[in-house]
Chain A
Amino acid sequence: MGSEKAEIRPEELEAFLDEALPAPRMREIEEALRRDRNLAEQLRAIIQRRDLGLVSIAEVWRRQRLSCPSRDTLGAYLLGALPPDEARFVRIHLERIGCRYCLANLADLQSRMEATQEQKEAAQRRCQRYFRSSLHHLTHSAEP
């Protein structure tokens, strides 16, 4: 998202509503909404527009992840193995579009690459906990 803090674009407000921006930018927008009535009005207008059944390009493109790189591509990006043009596209997608889904994938890939044995075991324990506590739902809720 760069380091600039000033301008909040309408497209970002759309993404804000969908919880789709990086956490620091989400917080900046939350703070701005508290002090800036015009911005709050813009947000209200977007909500009302959605409520009337209208959709925007920004909203659909981001929510449907039309240009998100695959996880394999993100892995290659981490390893510096992408051709320059594609690597620049991915960097812009992450840093300027601020795709939260791809940033989460990238963070996960990075942490798996760099995980210590202790961290791997902690992840396994988490997964076991999720598994045990959801098993009941698997056996009772999975019928089509």
Chain B
Amino acid sequence: MVNRPEQSEQVFIERIRAKDPVAWEQLIATYEGRLLAFLEPRVADRAAAEDLVQETFTGFLRSLPHFDESRSLEKWLFAIAANKLKDHLRRERHVQSLVVSNDEQEAPQIPVVAGARGPSTILDSRERRIKREALLLSILAEEVERIRRDEGWTKLACLELLFVGGYRNKEVAELLGISEQQVANWKHDFQSRLKRHLDAAKENGITF
């Protein structure tokens, strides 16, 4: 699991914050291949993908003062790459018309933010969202780690297919070669545990 940052990542960050060019060169060599593999299939040509990798690295340096070392460096880099890619696609091609076009004949309009809400309301929502995500993350991380450690890969695959992939019980049972009843039991058990965590959070004054 890659949820926790590796110690080598923290060393990278410390050295790069100290403006060590050797560390920066090593970071580039370590991560450029996976970033290129992430970006290239989504853009028209190799040169554009390489430009986005470049922008990701410079974006990383710009964001470094705000980077929390308890986060995974790879996850942070992928998040920057995804944002750069979304900007690129919005500029370059059809995602523009999908996401922000006003031309209903061409494509349905999908607003990025609700237009009638003021900046303070949006900020409030963003803060609530960050708090909720942090709470849900802590609950899910604990449960996923417990399942992986104590209950095995089949149960983890089952829950990932259900809750991340959105597969139906029957499809999951077929994919894993287990009974639908087993899938239903694991799903119910997981939902019950989540509910207990969330109820406990509510009792401690955290609304979800």
Contact = CB atoms under 8 A, between A and B. Distances in A.
B141 interface: yes
Contact of B24 (A40, A123, A138): A138
A78 interface: no
B160 A104 contact: no
Contact of A67 (B62, B125, B144, B175): B144
Contacts of B112: 47
Contacts of A88: 153-154, 157
Given A123-B32, A127-B25, A142-B61, A66 B133 contact: no
Contact of B17 (A34, A135, A144): A144
A59 B78 CA distance: 15
Q: How large is the interface on B (under 10, 10 to 19, 20 to 34, 35 or more residues)?
A: 35 or more
B53 A108 contact: no
A49 B9 CA distance: 34
Interface in B172-190: 175-176
Given A57-B163, A67-B160, A89-B153, A130 B57 contact: yes
Contacts of B24: 131, 134-135, 138
Interface in A44-101: 44, 47-48, 50-55, 57-58, 60-62, 64-71, 85-86, 88-89, 92-93, 96-97, 100-101
B28 A130 contact: yes
Given A105-B34, A127-B32, A37 B108 contact: yes
Given A54-B129, A133-B54, A33 B166 contact: no
24 contacts: A12-B166, A22-B41, A26-B42, A41-B108, A44-B110, A53-B128, A57-B194, A58-B163, A60-B133, A65-B2, A66-B137, A67-B148, A67-B160, A68-B1, A69-B1, A88-B157, A96-B175, A97-B164, A131-B21, A131-B28, A138-B16, A138-B61, A139-B19, A142-B19
List the 6 shortest-distance A-B pairs measured between CB atoms, nearest first: A11-B166, A23-B41, A9-B166, A53-B128, A40-B108, A104-B38
A47 B25 CA distance: 38
Contacts of B18: 142
Given A55-B133, A108-B37, A143-B65, A11 B85 contact: no
Nearest to A98: B165
Interface residues of A, number: 73
B33 interface: yes
A28 interface: no
Nearest to B78: A101
A5 interface: no
Contacts of A108: 33-34, 36-37
Given A19-B42, A88-B154, 17 more contacts: A33-B107, A47-B111, A53-B125, A53-B132, A54-B132, A55-B133, A57-B140, A58-B166, A61-B144, A89-B153, A97-B160, A107-B37, A112-B33, A123-B33, A135-B21, A142-B61, A144-B64
A44 B167 CA distance: 22
